[in-house]
Copies of this chain bind each other. A is one copy, B any other.
Amino acid sequence: MSSSTFFRSMLTTIADRGRALLRRHGPTVEDLLEDAAKLMPLSGKAPPRRDLPSLCDTLLSGRGEASGVALAEQILDQWAALDAAGQRAFLLDLAYRFGPDPIKLDKAIDAYRAAPGAGTALALHNAAEARRQELFRRLNLAPGGTEAVVRMREVLFRVMADAQGVEKTALEAVDADFSHLLASWFNRGFLVLRHIDWTTPANILEKIIRYEAVHTIRDWDDLRRRLAPADRRCFAFFHPQLLDDPLIFVEVALAPDIPASIDVLLAEGRAPMAAEAATTAVFYSISNCQEGLRGVSFGNFLIKQVVEDLRAELPNLRTFVTLSPVPAFAKWLGQQRADPASTLLAPADKDILAALDRPGWHQDPAVAATVSPVLMQAAAHYFLKAKARGNKPVDPVARFHLGNGARLERMNFLGDLSSKGLAQSHGLMVNYLYKLDDIETNHERYADKGEVVAAAAVRRHLRADAAPDDPKPPKGDGSKPGRPDAVAKRPSPAAADASSPAWPTAV
C-alpha cells in the first residue's frame, strides 16, 4: 500500500546516484593530476597511482570524517582510471601498507596477556583488524561504493591468479578482508527476492542471458521461452546497492512430475501447462552472477525462499526438485576407465564404455541400451562412494545440494544431449529433492555423519557387491538396494568443510 510504495520510492536515490556514477566518464590523467594537486599541493607532480595510498590514509584519518564522501569518490575515480599495473600496485599497497599496525598489535597482545578479559580481548580484536577493513567501509560512503568494492575484488582475483609466494599470501589476506566485509554487507537479511519475467527491464534481462551458466540462453527468443510461458518462473536475489544487477538467480519449470531430460524441458515447440495444474517445481538452473562475491552463500537461501514463495502462490505444488548437471562425472569416469586397477569397472565394462568415445553414440538405441546399466552403476558409485577432499562427494553440484539438506533423488540417463552435457557427464543428469521437513535432518546427516542422503532408486544402481563405502568400508552398514532413503555413510567428515554449501558458479 502507500507506505510500502513510499518505502520503495525511498530507494530511488540510490538508483539515480549509482547510475550517475556508472555513466560518469572516467577522469583523464590530467583531471587526476589536477585533483591530486588541489588536495595535496606539495605533491602535485606525483603520478595519480602514488596518490592513492595517501588519499586512503587521509580517508582513514579524522579529516576523512568531514569530507569522507568526496574523498571516497576521489579514490574510486582514481582507482577506476588505473591500468592493470596500477591496479596490481595498489592492491599490493593494500596488502602491505593497510594491514594491522604491528606495534599496536603487539601492545594489545601484551595487554591481553597481562589481564585477559572482555575489554582487552576487544582491544586486541581491534588492533588485529587490518586497516583496509575500515578503508573499505569508508569507500562505501561514495555513491556506488558498494559495487566498486565488489568490482575491486574481481580485479584482486585476476591479480592473485598470477601472484606467487609471499605476494600471493599477502593478497590472500586482502581477500580475506574483502570476504569478511562482503559477507556482512550481503547478509541474506539485506537481500531482496524478485520475480524475473518477461515484464522485467531489458537491462536486467540481458544480464540474465549473460550470467546463465548452466544451460546457455542463446538469444532473446530463447530467454522469452524461459520467462514468458505460464509454467515457467525465474527468481533472483538483488541487493539495494547493486542496482539492476542480480546476485544469483534460479530458473524454475512447473511440471506434472519429476523430469528426466533438460532437452524435453526446454524444447522449443512444447505446449505450456497451466501453472495451477502443476505438482512439481523443477529448479533446472542456478547461476551465481557476481564473481566479486565468491564465497558469499546465496544459493541455499534462494532455493528455500523460492520454495516458500511458490508454495504460497501455487498450493498444488507438492514436489520441489532440481534437474541438475553432473559436471565432474565424465572426467572421473575417464580416470576409472584408465585405471587398470579399478575395482569398479571390469574389463568388460570398460569395453562397453569405450562406446562413449564415439561421437553420436547416444543416437544409436542399441549402443545406448548397452551402455546404460554400466554407466548408471558407475554413476551410483560416483555419487555414493567416491570421495574428494574432506571426505565429500566428488561432484561439486552434489556437495552444494546435499549441503543444503537436499536428497539425491534420481539419476537420468541421457538427460542432457547438448555437446556440453555429453562432454561433462556423458549426458547424465540427476534430480535433488528438497523436502522442507527433511532438510534439517538431511543436512545434519550429511554434515555431521558424512552420509550422502539418496533415494533407493539411486542406490539400486550400485553393484550388488559394492562395499557400503570405500576405500575403508565401515562394518555393518545396513543400507541395501531397495531400502527407501538409504544413505552412504562417511566415516570421518571434515565437519567444518562439509557443512558449508559450496559456491559453484552454476548449479
Contact = CB atoms under 8 A, between A and B. Distances in A.
Contact of A2 (B2, B95, B112, B119): B2
Contacts of A304: 69
B12 A4 contact: yes
Interface string A471-498: 0000000000000000000000001101
Interface string A385-407: 00000000000000000011100
A172 B122 CA distance: 10
A146 interface: yes
Contacts of A68: 188, 301
Nearest to A2: B6
Task: Give the interface size class of chain A.
Answer: 35 or more
Contacts of A143: 189
* Most-contacted residue by chain B among A66, A187, A200, A305 (CB, 10 A): A66
A363 interface: no
A117 interface: yes
Contacts of A444: 63, 66
B199 A6 contact: yes
Contacts of A499: 62-63, 65
A271 interface: no
A170 B116 CA distance: 12
A164 interface: no
A105 interface: yes
A7 B3 contact: no
A412 interface: no
Nearest to A309: B13
Given A2-B201, A220-B220, A297-B65, A8 B13 contact: no
A185 B140 CA distance: 11
A300 B66 contact: yes
A205 interface: yes
B447 A62 contact: yes
A219 to B, nearest CB: 8
Contact of A11 (B8, B181, B498): B8
A130 interface: yes
Contacts of A145: 189
Contact of A66 (B11, B219, B244, B404): B404
Contact of A204 (B6, B95, B177, B498): B6
Interface in A193-220: 193-195, 197-205, 219-220
B4 A140 contact: no
Contacts of A12: 4, 7-8
A137 to B, nearest CB: 6
A44 B474 CA distance: 34
A189 B8 contact: no
Contacts of A129: 125
Nearest to A146: B189
A458 interface: no
Most buried by B among A105, A197, A202, A220: A202
Contact of A199 (B4, B16, B141): B4
A240 interface: yes
A318 interface: no
A423 interface: no
A176 interface: yes
A202 B6 CA distance: 11
A290 to B, nearest CB: 16
A69 B141 contact: no
Nearest to A72: B189
A142 B202 contact: no
B6 A189 contact: no
A220 to B, nearest CB: 5
Given A4-B199, A8-B12, A100-B121, 14 more contacts: A2-B5, A2-B194, A2-B197, A3-B203, A5-B5, A7-B11, A11-B192, A63-B447, A65-B403, A105-B121, A117-B169, A122-B130, A201-B201, A240-B240
Closest 4 CB pairs of A and B: A3-B199, A62-B499, A66-B443, A118-B173
22 contacts: A2-B2, A3-B199, A4-B16, A5-B8, A6-B204, A7-B11, A10-B238, A11-B11, A13-B192, A63-B440, A66-B447, A121-B128, A122-B177, A125-B128, A137-B187, A140-B190, A141-B301, A142-B189, A146-B189, A184-B185, A199-B201, A200-B201
